[in-house]
Chains A and B, each alone.
Chain A
């Protein structure tokens, strides 16, 4: 786990992590949230609407923004204030994703970072964009 300090978190500092979306993750997400919408659980239903197969819940993939913030940027002293997310392409079971964040603004008065996040598949296709607002519990 990283533990960036406020002074280290200058605009442009970036971190990323890689993750493969395993089918078991989807099953656990369904069990946790109760979201059994057929777009996420039924391949035939998903295909009938033009998707290759059932689509991974957007908020499952977005949960890796939590990992980005809590483990990597800034890591230990993070307090996630909020985020705005766009889901730009469907994600499927087995996809290998890269979650990346870049510090894009520092609110010096309140020690809050803005982090611009992206999730890409196979290194190029953007499947999600986000703007994350992150406070820091410790400033030194």
Chain B
């Protein structure tokens, strides 16, 4: 399983207003504090800006956990790197 990226942890802490929050890859909307629909949108926006990527709704609809999001970001950033090379 991929580790929780150091670039992504501050996003969850900031959006969820929980500065000391520990985020695990198996966390989801039910286990994270303050995680509602607006928080989800804000996390998506923050990840897009942090990684310079853009999500389509179809990519996000099946995400079940933080780990799923981490894996999706890894795929998209890897694809971008490959395209550049």
Q: Which residues of A contact B (CB under 8 A)?
A: 81-82, 105-110, 112, 114, 133
Which label, helix, strand, loop or mixed, suits the secondary structure of the A interface?
Answer: strand
Q: How far apart sit A110 and B43, CA to CA, in the bound complex (Å)?
A: 12
Q: Any chain A CB within 8 A of the CB of B41?
A: yes
- Pairwise interchain contact A112-B48, C-beta atoms closer than 8 A: no
Whose C-beta in chain B lies nearest to the C-beta of A113? Answer: B45
Residue pair A110, B49 in contact (C-beta under 8 Å): no
* Residue pair A109, B55 in contact (C-beta under 8 Å): yes
**B residues near A112, Cβ cutoff 8 Å:** 41, 45
Instruction: A81-B38, A105-B45, A107-B44 given; name 20 further pairs at CB < 8 Å.
Output: A81-B41, A105-B48, A105-B49, A107-B48, A107-B55, A108-B55, A108-B56, A108-B57, A109-B55, A109-B56, A109-B57, A109-B59, A109-B60, A110-B41, A110-B57, A112-B41, A112-B45, A114-B45, A133-B41, A133-B45
Complex Cα distance, B48 from A106, in Å, reads 9
29 pairs, A vs B, C-beta closer than 8 Å: A81-B38, A81-B41, A82-B38, A105-B45, A105-B48, A106-B54, A107-B41, A107-B44, A107-B45, A107-B48, A107-B55, A108-B54, A108-B55, A108-B56, A108-B57, A109-B44, A109-B55, A109-B56, A109-B59, A109-B60, A110-B41, A110-B44, A110-B57, A112-B41, A112-B45, A114-B45, A133-B41, A133-B42, A133-B45
Mark each residue of chain B from 52 to 82: 1 if its CB lies under 8 Å from any CB of chain A, else 0.
0011110110000000000000000000000
* Interface size grouping (class) on chain B: 10 to 19
Interface residues of B in 22-59 (CB under 8 A from A): 38, 41-42, 44-45, 48-49, 54-57, 59
User: Given the complex, which residues of B lie within 8 Å of A133, measured CB to CB?
Assistant: 41-42, 45
What is the CA–CA distance of A112 and B46 in the complex, to the nearest angstrom?
Answer: 12
The complex places the Cα of A108 from the Cα of B55 at a distance, in Å, of: 7
Name the residue of chain B whose CB is nearest to the CB of A110.
Answer: B41
Residues in B neighbouring A110, C-beta threshold 8 A: 41, 44, 57
